[in-house]
Structure 1
Amino acid sequence: MINFNGNLTASNLVLSSNNRAFKYGDGIFETIKVENLDIRFLEDHYFRLMASMRMLRMEIPMEFTMDFIEQEIIKTVQCNNLNNARVRVSVYREDGGLYTPKSNKINFIIEASELNVKVKDSYVLDLFKDFYVYSGLLSTVKTTNKLVNVLASIYADENAVDNCILLNEKKQVVEVMNGTIFLVVGNTIKTPAITEGCVKGIIRKKIIEIITAHPVYTIEETQISPFEIQKADEVFITNTIIGVQPVTNYKKNIFETKVSKELALALANLV
């Protein structure tokens, strides 16, 4: 069962051929983790969703409060007989128009599936160089246009690696295909700055907060060359579902995982 505009319906919902998310990528989404019917970092997800809708000039319904979103997510999770779930909230402009929409009003879909979280002991990373992410502000929003990520995922599958690093048009590191990348160099932990085109990840934000408060480590949001990855002591990636995934292999490099595991534990203890 899925939630379509607040109504629970069969998961084989057929959308119109004029659906704007399908025709133009005119939509956004949030991937959310639910554990024991508790929505992890609900407030952060909610405010990112609202900021994204404003940026895309979507009309935010009056009822779209944080309480409303929470209730609709939990309703969807429960109707699928789940306590732990991977949830996707998709918001897209109503049908109609060509590039110029007929309306800025929105529809939403909430989907819930079984939560499958497994941090891998061995995790191999590669570099995807076929296409680039543009380092503009729009790239920081989770829109439904994710062609570079799709092609990077196909490349990863064809080359038997777990994930790929995405680059921007300046050939600098942006992120991985499903999350944020961090490099540990001594006591400094680096991650690409938002100006490089990376998504404003929720777990990215939380890890940066943890590092900022840490007595030993310092954080740098900066421009990162692909060559710096091979010089790092550790590399790890983050996303909403997995939390922190240490990287063990990149090209000929084998990385340590001590700092990654320490930060993963700190993240798990956040309320």
Structure 2
Amino acid sequence: MFNFNGELFSKDREILNYNNRGFKYGDALFETIRCINGNVFFWEDHYFRLMSSMRILRMEIPMEFTLEFLEEEIKKVVANNGLENTAARVRLTIFRKDGGLYSPITNDVSYLIEVGTLESPFYLLSSDSYEVELFKDYFVNKDMLSNLKTTNKILNVVAGVYAQENGYENCILINNDKQVVEVINGNLFLVKDNAIKTPPLSDGCLDGIIRKKLIEIIKKTEGLELQEDSISPFELQKADELFITNSISGIRPITKYRKKDYRNSTGKSLLGKLNAKARIDQF
């Protein structure tokens, strides 16, 4: 079942029509969230990012869209899918209501919540081979819209097709200045000695929830130095480790880029701290 504007429908029910603005113009935002045993992970961070993004896109925020209201709407659809005692993946999509061309006739919004199962209640570190390549056909813009989690993701889609066609698990995206920004489905971190580097938001990367949490962890970890700074593609093969972060996988080590093979000891250590932070967040 899924939740559309507070009402539950079976998965085979057709709700959205041809005039939907998310479909026609990508006029939508979304959050992908972990829900474990009925607890929504890092919910405050997801909520405040969503509210901030709605303001930036000039969407009207309904009075009932409180932290508590949306959390209960998520839990309602999780429970009605029988996932309240296990690990669930939640997607909350907000889109402007139908009407208009590029200029909408209303800034009022609708929401849709869908859920699926997850393999584990904890973030796990995969040891599988994970090879990536630089995607250079199109570029991420260096502006605030690139920081938002919108449904305008055609660059990511084309990069995903490129990865499939060439046998890669993922692609690294770059901006117009040819600086590394992120990967198709998350933020990127580079480890060199005791320094951990990630691109700044001003370079156009997604303002990721796990990126934010990991930055907090690294700053508090003795012996590690955080650097939010631009990354040149030339730095990638000089790194000791590369890893990806997102709300579903947590930390995903990259094992190979071109001729360079990477270790994952720092990523493994940080994953334990991230799991601990996620548990503390629930209390």
- Shorter-chain TM range is over 0.9
Matched AA of 1:74: K
Match of 1:2 in 2: 2
Distance 2:126 2:267 in 1: 13
Match of 1:79 in 2: 80
Matched, 1:104 2:107: yes
Matched AA of 2:238: K
Distance 1:119 1:158 in 2: 26
Match of 2:61 in 1: 60
**Count of equivalent residues:** 271
Task: State percent identity of aligned pairs.
Answer: 53
Match of 2:117 in 1: 114
Distance 1:216 1:119 in 2: 22
Distance 2:132 2:194 in 1: 22
Q: Among 74, 88, 91, which residue is 1:88 paired with?
A: 91
1:26-68, Cα deviation, whole Å (9 max, x unpaired): 1100000111111110000000000000000000011101111
> What is the CA-CA distance between 1:98 and the residue it aligns to?
0.9
Q: Secondary structure at the match of 1:130?
A: strand
**Worse overlay, 155-164 or 220-229:** 155-164
Distance 1:80 1:150 in 2: 29
Query: Structure 1 pair 155/116, CA: closer, same or farther in 2 (3 Å)?
Result: farther
Distance 2:219 2:151 in 1: 32
Distance 1:37 1:124 in 2: 34
Matched, 1:238 2:245: yes
Conservation of the 8 A alpha-carbon contact between 2:125 and 2:268: no
Point out where structure 1 has 5 or more consecutive residues left out of the alignment: none
Matched AA of 1:220: Q
> What is the CA-CA distance between 1:116 and the residue it aligns to?
3.5
Match of 1:213 in 2: 220
The normalised TM-score by structure 1 is 0.98
1:117-151, Cα deviation, whole Å (9 max, x unpaired): 66431221111111111111100001111001111
RMSD: 1.0
Matched AA of 1:226: P
> What is the CA-CA distance between 1:182 and the residue it aligns to?
0.3
Matched, 1:182 2:186: no
Matched AA of 1:94: K
Point out where structure 2 has 5 or more consecutive residues left out of the alignment: none
Match of 1:169 in 2: 176
Residue correspondence of structure 1 range 260-271 to structure 2 within 5 A = 260-270=267-277, 271=280
Matched AA of 1:33: R
Distance 1:9 1:244 in 2: 34
Conservation of the 8 A alpha-carbon contact between 2:29 and 2:93: yes
Match of 2:28 in 1: 27
Q: Secondary structure at the match of 1:195?
A: helix
Match of 1:256 in 2: 263
1:178-233, Cα deviation, whole Å (9 max, x unpaired): 00100001111000100010110000000000001111101111111111010001
Matched AA of 1:7: E
1:219-260, Cα deviation, whole Å (9 max, x unpaired): 111111111010001111100000011111111101111101
Q: Among 141, 161, 184, which residue is 1:154 paired with?
A: 161
